[in-house]
Structure 1
């Protein structure tokens, strides 16, 4: 499965390079500190998403939080009710010189099931939906293009249901959610759910991990 997705992403990356940002977006990008960029992704429980993406070479910071809903400054308890419209998501600050948005999408589409609607495994609800909150037109076009190619190539038995929606606002989750796996690796959820997923992730993306994680 990973090989199929990687092949699709590699074959279309050249075409996606033609997706240019608008002058306004270029101006905004030019003032970002140290030429860093941002991706906001939802792959289910943000504890697991954060634990994986923070290990990628070129990823500077991963913050767990909420995006895509209507409730202002939601609490974790509110989001868990499924009534806020928010998804558990991660804000990923990355250095495009070390890891591209295309590579982040490669990880995104292979490291969770983008065909499951409003759930990931035993985590069920709209807050666990698969989503890409794009920050500019290039991110939007790349995400849509990859989804179409993945579906056309039938890389998964079922169609991709990942939402591709504009980024509006990101609410940082409570402090105890940040670096959750690193701080709570011995709790049952971390040992039984996150650790096995992280082990598979490290094996699949060994060539993309930070030196300290190899």
Structure 2
């Protein structure tokens, strides 16, 4: 706990968790980012289980954040800029249900904030196709294997990181300079 309010948890899925993790690690007020899996029927899933696409889990990041420093709404604003919420079970070349766009809400306030934002984005025509982001109650979160944690920081020159993660990080830095740590 860093501010006047207790830290909150947000769980978001928008494609490969390496992308989301790399961005949200740089948001002020985000105390911890853990890559993992949520929303499926297997208990204690592994990365191999997830890659098969039959576990029902999505690749997600769990954020622990101080709402006195960064609001849940601001986290959602970043989320909707750094991924495409209009492609079901897909982000770029990453295809399968594990890459779906999903928000796991932890309170009625989070549910309402996400619902309101999605309705607003849709009404304003921000995207050329309908938003397909799932809005579902928080499910069991399973941290990914240790080698996935902080992946971008240790693999910036790896081709996927250079060509997929880095551009999303650049887009975030340009659009949300006010939120940088």
**Match of 1:119?**
90
What is the DSSP-based 3-state SS (H/G/I as helix, E as strand, rest coil) of the residue aligned with 1:35? coil
**Match of 1:30?**
none
Match of residue 60, structure 1, among 15, 31, 34: 31
Match of residue 103, structure 2, among 132, 137, 140: 132
- Maintained 8 Å contact 2:105/2:135: yes
Confirm or deny that 1:167 pairs with 2:138. yes
Match of residue 162, structure 2, among 170, 176, 191: 191
**Match of 1:85?**
56
Q: How far apart are 1:98 and its partner, in Å?
A: 0.3
- Distance in structure 2 (CA, Å) of the matches to 1:190 and 1:152: 33
Q: Which sections of structure 2, spanning at least 5 residues, go unmatched?
A: none
What is the DSSP-based 3-state SS (H/G/I as helix, E as strand, rest coil) of the residue aligned with 2:10? strand
What is the DSSP-based 3-state SS (H/G/I as helix, E as strand, rest coil) of the residue aligned with 2:86? coil
- Distance in structure 2 (CA, Å) of the matches to 1:47 and 1:168: 20
User: In proportion to residue count, which structure has more helix?
Assistant: 1
- Distance in structure 2 (CA, Å) of the matches to 1:45 and 1:51: 11
What RMSD, in angstroms, separates the aligned Cα atoms of the two structures?
1.2
Task: Give CA-to-partner distance per residue, 1:147-201, whole Å, 9 cap, x none.
Answer: 1121122111111000000002100000000000001112111112211221222
- Maintained 8 Å contact 2:58/2:98: yes
Match of residue 151, structure 2, among 180, 185, 209: 180
TM-score in terms of structure 2 length: 0.95
TM-score in terms of structure 1 length: 0.81
Alignment of 1:91-110 (within 5 A): 91-110=62-81
- Distance in structure 2 (CA, Å) of the matches to 1:201 and 1:137: 27
Larger gyration radius, structure 1 or structure 2: 1
**Match of 1:146?**
117
